[in-house]
Amino acid sequence: MNAATPRTTVGLKVSAPGAREILLTRLFDAPRDLVFDAFTKPELIKRWMFGPEGWSLPVCDLELKAGGKMHYVWKHKDGNSMGMRGAFREIKRPSRIVHTEIFDEDWTGGETLVTTLFTEKDGKTLVEQTILYSSRAARDAVLKSPMEDGAAQGYNRLDKFLAGQADRRGAA
């Protein structure tokens, strides 16, 4: 069910195309409308974006329209939780989503702007996600996160909790 087998290099590609951006590129073996649904329907999002082992995503509310708000809360079985809010700027089903994100404990140095593109070829779907930090200083804040954490969008927090070094400030 999850990443028990590392060492794939054919999967996700991550690059840093600009001073303030991170780009994720991943091919999915499914038609575009299904992939788009999996990225935008709360009941589906909860089934894959729940974080590392021990975490779940009990709250995933979103209004899928330009200007619509989103609210995510991840919870760990030991009681820690982490919230994230954001808003959609643009939705073009099934090819493009632009939204903002900010974590309750703002560790990314301000809002990030996330652009997700879905391109279908031969029944497979290429997803390209660009995360733009508000400034170089903001991206610095992300890079400050400990190296042993996958410093993804807030998940370094999750890893820290897992490692039993929870930062209690944000614990619910």
| Cα 12 versus chain centre, distance | 14
**Hey, is 74 helix, strand or coil?**
strand
Pinpoint the alpha helices (H) of 42-149: 42-45, 136-143
Positions in 104-123 near other proteins (CB under 8 A): none
Count other Cβ atoms within 10 Å, centred on residue 162. Answer: 19
Q: Of these, 62, 155, 157, 162, which contacts other proteins (CB under 8 A)?
A: 155
Cβ 67 to other proteins shortest distance, Å: 27
CA distances from 100 to 108, 123, 167 (A): 12, 29, 25
From the list 105, 110, 124, 127, the residue with the least C-alpha distance to 49 is 127
- Residues for the chain: how many in total? 172
Positions in 26-45 near other proteins (CB under 8 A): 26, 28-31, 34-35, 37-38, 44
Report the residue number, 66 or 106, with the smaller CB distance to other proteins: 106
Positions in 134-153 near other proteins (CB under 8 A): 136, 139-141, 143-144, 147-152
Report the residue number, 66 or 115, with the smaller CB distance to other proteins: 115
From the list 150, 137, 89, 82, the residue with the least C-alpha distance to 110 is 137
52 near other proteins (CB under 8 A): yes
**CA pair distance 90, 99, nearest whole angstrom:** 7
165 near other proteins (CB under 8 A): no
Positions in 76-95 near other proteins (CB under 8 A): none
12 near other proteins (CB under 8 A): yes
List residues binding other proteins (CB under 8 A): 1-3, 6, 8, 11-19, 22, 24, 26, 28-31, 34-35, 37-38, 44, 47-52, 136, 139-141, 143-144, 147-152, 155, 159
